[in-house]
Amino acid sequence: MRVWRLLTSFLFGVGMVLSVLAVPAAARPSLPVTFKVGERLAAAGKAAMERTCLALALYHEARGEPLVGQIAVAATILNRVASRAYPDSICGVVFEGALKPTGCQFTFACDRRSDWPRNLPIYVRMHRLAGQILAVSRGETSGIPEARQALIRATLHRFVLSTHYHRHDVYPAWSRRMGRIARIGNHVFFRSQRVLRRIPDAQRLTLLGLAALSGPAGLESREL
């Protein structure tokens, strides 16, 4: 039953993602604020869609990585969401460029292969992890084991300024212009001044505060 619920959530989320991407932003309808039930449904739908998009990114980008590496990938996505240099939603960041000839930020989004997870048990794990990461990032920790909470919180803090990453065996030109944070598993993580400068002031102070809490790695990340 749990797998069926997750599968249903996935299908619902992917359907919403594709339907939103297919409609120009200016033409997307919005619910009147007076319809409180509609607002709740819209919020629930968006939350499910965002979790699904994050789960898909974790599945395709990091399913073979250690848990810390998976959380670091999620942190990078969330940091981009906070910056005006990128779309202001998880789905927008993950699927940026998917419908444009200029290419994608994440290869799986436009490699002309199905995004359908072939290994459902692993996708279920990524979906659960995505929910836990989003909950901890919002301070909602009910039902999450304390050890998992602590690991997620510490990793989000450590990679609070991470904006880019690549596999360790490739050498993109952009990596020479950014500050290296750390290598976790097969991924090397970086920080970009351009992206960090476009985080609104209130959010920037929050991020820098989190970096200070994370010890030497976080302090190093502030040397921009």
Query: For the segment 53-72, what is each residue's pLDDT rounded down to a tens digit?
Result: 999 999 999 999 999 999 99
| pLDDT tier for residue 109 given thresholds of 50, 70 and 90 | confident
The pLDDT of residue 200: 87
Tell me whether residue 147 is in a domain. Answer: yes
The pLDDT of residue 222: 34
Tell me whether residue 60 is in a domain. Answer: yes
Cβ 76 vs Cβ 61: under 8 Å: no
What is the arithmetic mean of pLDDT over 101-121?
Answer: 78
Tell me whether residue 27 is in a domain. Answer: no
Rounded distance, CA 12 to CA 120, Å? Answer: 16
Tell me whether residue 84 is in a domain. Answer: yes
Specify burial of residue 144 (Cβ count, 10 A radius: 0-12, 13-18, 19+).
middle
In sequence order, the β-bridge partners of residue 165 are: 189
Tell me whether residue 30 is in a domain. Answer: no
Q: Is the model's pLDDT at 75 over the cut of 80? A: yes
Range of the domain at 42: 2-21+35-221
Tell me whether residue 49 is in a domain. Answer: yes
Tell me whether residue 28 is in a domain. Answer: no
Q: Is the model's pLDDT at 198 over the cut of 60? A: yes
Count of structural domains, the chain: 1
Rounded distance, CA 105 to CA 191, Å? Answer: 15
